[in-house]
Amino acid sequence: MKIVSIITQKGGAGKTTIATALAVAAQKDGLNTAILDLDDQATSCFWGDIRTSQDHSPALAVKDVKAVRLPHVLDALKTAGCDLAILDCPAIHRDVAMDAATPSDFVLIPTRADVFDIRSMRQTVDLMKSIDKPCAVVLNFCPPAGREMGDAREGIKGIGVELCPVEMHHRKAYSRAQQLGQTAQESEPSSLAAQEIIGLYTNTLKQLKEGETHGELTASRA
């Protein structure tokens, strides 16, 4: 089983949007996937409740988990044949971030392209570096134009962390889908938002497969 954590210590960066989008993409790709919601606001769980009530396919396991129970839940998922666990983490909480990052194979760090968010994001990057955890920053809620995007890219590269080649823009398709318990690639499959999600999933899968054979990742599908 592989584990991906979505972590940033700044609120409003779009962690849940990314977590749910990646989970649906993985499930559609044939990976038995679960979302673990470590945030007291339980936004992923709320999304999952809507999804269940609307009977959307593919079905997804979305669990509300306290950090202290995370090792037990991860062990149970592995035993049950889960291929991919995606951890949706709260903002601010450094201890929870560490609890989530430690067992993770890869960490995605979403941030907006403004100076204050990037400054806060750097704390998360430093935390990941302190435990030598593979990670990448993904720019989210990107504006359609403006010099701040170029400045943000240069600033992130200057920190010495990998920048995800896929950028998530501020698109209405994301919020419209969430209201239905879906993700943009489901509700509006031909949209630019759907293309971004597919690109982000493909890049994340590439990170997870790095140093492994395809068979090792997908062995539990057989």
Pick the closest to residue 77 from 28, 181, 4 (CA basis).
Answer: 4
In a domain, 78, yes or no: yes
Share of the chain above pLDDT 70, in %: 95
Say which amino acid occupies 126: D
Sheet holding 135-139, edge to edge: 61-64, 33-37, 84-88, 2-6, 106-111, 135-139, 162-163
In a domain, 217, yes or no: no
Burial of 169 (0-12, 13-18, 19+ CB in 10 A): middle
* 25 vs 157, residue with greater confidence: 25
- pLDDT at 10 (0 to 100): 83
- 33, 84 contact by CB (below 8 A): yes
Supply the CATH number for residue 81's domain: 3.40.50.300
pLDDT band at 103 (very low <50, low <70, confident <90, very high): very high
Instruction: For the beta carbon of residue 114, count every other beta carbon within 10 angstroms.
Output: 13
In a domain, 14, yes or no: yes
- Structure tokens that stand for 53 in this block: 């009530």
- CA torsion sign, 7 to 107 to 170 to 61? negative
Q: Is residue 81 pLDDT above 80, yes or no?
A: yes
pLDDT tens, 111-146? 999 888 888 899 999 999 999 999 999 999 998 877
In a domain, 221, yes or no: no
In a domain, 216, yes or no: no
In a domain, 130, yes or no: yes
Angle at 145 between CA 142 and CA 147, to 5 degrees: 95
Q: Which domain holds residue 36?
A: 2-207
Q: Is residue 187 pLDDT above 70, yes or no?
A: yes
Name 1's bridge partners. none
pLDDT tens, 194-209? 999 999 999 999 999 8
In a domain, 222, yes or no: no
Burial of 55 (0-12, 13-18, 19+ CB in 10 A): exposed
In a domain, 213, yes or no: no
- pLDDT at 212 (0 to 100): 65
pLDDT band at 91 (very low <50, low <70, confident <90, very high): confident
Domain count, the chain: 1
Q: What's the pTM value of the predicted model, to 2 decimals?
A: 0.91
- pLDDT at 220 (0 to 100): 46
The enclosing H or E element of 78 equals: helix 70-79
